A and B are shown apart, each in its own frame.
Chain A
Amino acid sequence: MIDFLIFLILVAIFLSFIRFVKAPLLLDRVVAFDTMGIIAISLLALLSVTYKSSIYIDVAFVFALIGFIGSITFARFYMVKDDDVRTDDIKDTNG
């Protein structure tokens, strides 16, 4: 039974991996990667039931943290327009 549930979650990860590969835009890849991270959290929770060890829950914490920080950073630095970037400071220090 639990093998079947792990298979269902692997199907979900594979479907979002297809979107990750053939994304037309960069943010599609970021969204697909975020979703893959969230699905991997539940896969790791299922693995902790299968192997009777609670260390997989800690690995799931790390996955959640890395996925959150990664998507926030990507979106924040992608959002900045080109004229928002300040170049006067750089010129001042150089000259």
Chain B
Amino acid sequence: MGDITLYIGYGFILFGSLFLIIASLGLLRLPDTISRMHAGTKASTLGTLLVLVGVGFMEPTLWFKLLLLALFVLLTNPLSSSILAKSSYIKNGFYSKSNVDDMKDSK
């Protein structure tokens, strides 16, 4: 029984770390600040949540702290990404190859 939960935890952590590597690759490869922000916050949120679920499978006594940490990441990460995107739009403008600019009307 213990081995099964251990291997499920390993699987979750493996998927989560692959998502984290994809997030960092997107941070390296994408051409623009807002695109990098799109890669670096969404994919890393999902990767961190998967790693925390896997750790919860491996060490079930820690579940309350892991739940609090997952809720904190899930609440604060989109907030900081949103305000970073707004600040980047106001100070640095928009990516010139993109045609859609919804923020222009709402100013």
Interface residues, chain A, with chain B CB atoms under 8 Å away: 1-2, 5, 8-9, 11-16, 18-19, 25, 27-28, 30-32, 34-35, 38-39, 41-42, 45-46, 48-49, 54, 57-58, 60-61, 64-65, 67-68, 71-72, 75-76, 78-79, 81
* Contact in complex: A78, B73 (CB < 8 Å): no
Most buried by A among B40, B45, B65, B92: B40
Given A27-B33, A72-B83, also A9-B55 (CB < 8 A): no
Most buried by A among B28, B58, B88: B88
Which residues of A are found within 8 Å of B45, using beta-carbon distances?
38
Give how many A-B residue pairs fall within 8 Å (CB-CB).
Answer: 150
Q: At the interface, is chain A mostly helix, strand, loop or mixed?
A: helix
Given A5-B10, A48-B62, A54-B65, also A72-B55 (CB < 8 A): no
Which residues of B are found within 8 Å of A14, using beta-carbon distances?
24
Interface residues, chain B, with chain A CB atoms under 8 Å away: 10, 13-14, 16-18, 20-21, 23-25, 27-28, 33, 36-37, 40-41, 44-45, 47-48, 51-52, 55, 58-59, 61-62, 65-66, 68-69, 72-73, 76-77, 79-81, 83-84, 86-88, 90-92
CB distance from A72 to the nearest CB of B (A): 6
* Contact in complex: B83, A75 (CB < 8 Å): yes
